[in-house]
Amino acid sequence: MYNASDLRKGLKVEVDNQPWVISEFEFCKPGKGTALYKCKLKNIITGYTMDRTYRPTDRIEKPDLEEREIMYSYHDGAFYVFSDNETFEEVRIPEKILGDSKYFLIENAECRVLFYKGQPVEITLPVFIMKVITETEPGARGDTATNVTKSAKIDNGYEIQVPLFINQGDTVKIDTRTGEYSERVSKA
């Protein structure tokens, strides 16, 4: 159980039997009356946001959350299968939880998964991954100083914007948080 004075940005709380994270926090002390804690909450499962105001005497539930390191194994068609590093138990995660992160899964990649009451609700991939460009227009020599980009595809069909000098077969670093090109690692 949290007191209202424990609230801060990034804290995970339970409201109406749902896990929420505080995305914005403001402490208000009006001229008269008690202090107020104004929070913007984001539902961890649905992504829905809401505003809540708490008084100093309010008590807020702690959610039943657990975070574990697991390793990506394979995709079986319906689920993405991960292996727990300590217990070697298989964890099956549906595609809807992964979202676009599924394009950045690499076999044996270490990931952090957040479980709410034993069910996976959020996954965090390594920040950067290396992927080979499988399809793009040929690069133009000398086009390294401009911010002009072109479309390129990686092995699973995901499309990213890359600088003009990137060619098919080049290995690039991709930021998994944004899904954007970061830098060229090696030339084809």
- The domain segmentation of the chain, as residue ranges, is 2-60, 65-124, 128-186
Token readout for 85 is 């590093």
103, 80 Cβ separation under 8 angstroms: no
Q: For the residues 47-53, what does the mean pLDDT come to?
A: 92
CA distance readout (Å), 132 to 79, 106, 135, 157: 24, 12, 9, 11
Q: For the residues 11-39, what does the mean pLDDT come to?
A: 90
Q: pLDDT band at 141, cuts 50/70/90? A: low
Q: pLDDT band at 40, cuts 50/70/90? A: very high
Three-state DSSP at 64 gives coil
Domains 65-124 and 128-186 share a fold: yes
CATH architecture of 2-60: Roll (2.30)
Q: pLDDT band at 100, cuts 50/70/90? A: confident
Select 128-186's CATH number: 3.30.420.40, 3.30.830.10, 2.40.10.10, 2.40.50.140: 2.40.50.140
Residue 46 has pLDDT above 70, yes or no: yes
Q: pLDDT band at 48, cuts 50/70/90? A: very high
Three-state DSSP at 178 gives coil
List pLDDT tens digits, range 144-178.
556 788 999 998 889 999 988 888 999 999 999 89
Cα Rg of the chain (Å, integer): 22
- Window from 44-48, 87-91, 143-147, 167-171 with minimum mean pLDDT: 143-147
pTM: 0.77
Q: For the residues 99-113, what does the mean pLDDT come to?
A: 90
- Residue percentage of the chain with pLDDT more than 70: 95
Q: pLDDT band at 52, cuts 50/70/90? A: very high
Phi, psi values for residue 41, rounded to 5°: -110, 145
CA distance readout (Å), 2 to 11, 59, 128, 164: 10, 6, 35, 52
Q: For the residues 33-38, what does the mean pLDDT come to?
A: 88
The CATH classification number of 65-124 equals 2.40.50.140
- For every residue of 156-173, DSSP letters joined together read TS-EEEEETT--TT-EEE
Q: Specify the pLDDT at position 88.
A: 85
